[in-house]
Amino acid sequence: MGAIRTISSFLLLAAFLMGCARTPPGAEPVTETGTPAPAKPVPASVTLQYRYGDAWRQVTNVTSHVPAGPAEIRLSFSKPVRREEVEQALMEAQAAPIRGVMRWTDDRTLNWQVAQLPPRVDFLLGEAHDQDGLALPGGIPSLRVGDPPTFVKADAAGGSDSPLAVLPPDIVSAALSTDHKYLNLTVWSPGATRWDWQTTGLYLDLDGGEIRVGRVDGFQPRLPANLESWAASPARNLVAGLRLSAQPEAARRGERDLVLSDVLGARQQVQTGFVVRAGIAGNAAGVVWSADGARIAALTDSASGPGRSDVVAMDVADREVGVLIRDVPVSAGIARLAWSTDGRYLLAGPVVIDLSSGQQRVLPGDEASARGIWEPGGARLLYSARDWDAVLVVDAGTGQGKSLGPGLLIDWATPGQAYIIRWSAAGTRYLPPGQ
pTM equals 0.85
What's the pLDDT score for residue 8? 40
Q: Going edge to edge, which strands form the sheet with 309-315?
A: 288-289, 295-301, 309-315, 321-328
Taking only the tens place, the pLDDT of each residue in 381-406 is: 999 999 999 999 999 988 899 999 99
Taking only the tens place, the pLDDT of each residue in 92-147 is: 999 889 999 999 999 999 999 999 999 999 999 999 999 999 999 988 999 999 99
pLDDT band at 31 (very low <50, low <70, confident <90, very high): low
Residue 277 pLDDT > 60: yes
Percent share of the chain, pLDDT over 70: 90
Taking only the tens place, the pLDDT of each residue in 170-196 is: 999 999 998 899 999 999 988 888 888
Residue 267 pLDDT > 90: no
What's the pLDDT score for residue 26? 44
* Stronger pLDDT, 267 or 34, i.e. the higher one: 267
pLDDT band at 6 (very low <50, low <70, confident <90, very high): very low
Residue 254 pLDDT > 80: yes
Residue 19 pLDDT > 50: no
pLDDT band at 435 (very low <50, low <70, confident <90, very high): low
pLDDT band at 279 (very low <50, low <70, confident <90, very high): low
Residue 15 pLDDT > 50: no
What's the pLDDT score for residue 62? 76
Write the DSSP symbol of residue 258. E
* 329-350: average pLDDT: 94
Domain 218-426 class? mainly beta
User: Dihedral through CA 165, CA 166, CA 170, CA 171, nearest 10?
Assistant: 0
CA–CA separation, 390 vs 416, rounded Å? Answer: 17
Is the Cβ–Cβ distance between 325 and 345 less than 8 Å? no
pLDDT band at 300 (very low <50, low <70, confident <90, very high): very high
Taking only the tens place, the pLDDT of each residue in 227-252 is: 888 999 999 999 999 999 999 999 99
Which of the residue ranges 18-27, 63-72, 180-189, 385-394 would you say has the lowest mean pLDDT? Answer: 18-27
Residue 18 pLDDT > 80: no
* 54-63: average pLDDT: 87
Region label for 358, one of left (φ > 0), alpha (ψ between -120 and 50) or beta (otherwise): left
What's the pLDDT score for residue 280? 53
What's the pLDDT score for residue 17? 45
Is the Cβ–Cβ distance between 378 and 341 less than 8 Å? yes
**Would you list the domain boundaries of the chain?**
45-143, 218-426
Percent share of the chain, pLDDT over 90: 70
Per-residue H/E/C for 118-149: CCEECCCCCCCEECCCCECCCCCCCEEECCCC
Residue 199 pLDDT > 60: yes
What's the pLDDT score for residue 14? 46
Taking alpha carbons only, the member of 182, 166, 153 closest to residue 382 is: 153
What's the pLDDT score for residue 34? 64
Q: Going edge to edge, which strands form the sheet with 380-384?
A: 371-374, 380-384, 390-395, 401-406
Which of the residue ranges 21-30, 306-315, 333-342, 353-362 would you say has the lowest mean pLDDT? Answer: 21-30
What's the pLDDT score for residue 1? 44
SS3 state at 18: helix
Residue 216 pLDDT > 80: yes
* 269-279: average pLDDT: 90
Query: b/e string for 289-308 if b means 16 or more Cβ within 10 A?
Result: bbeebebbbbbbbbeeeeeb
Mean model confidence pLDDT for the chain:
88
Burial class (CB within 10 angstroms; exposed 0-12, middle 13-18, buried 19+) of 99 = exposed
pLDDT band at 12 (very low <50, low <70, confident <90, very high): very low
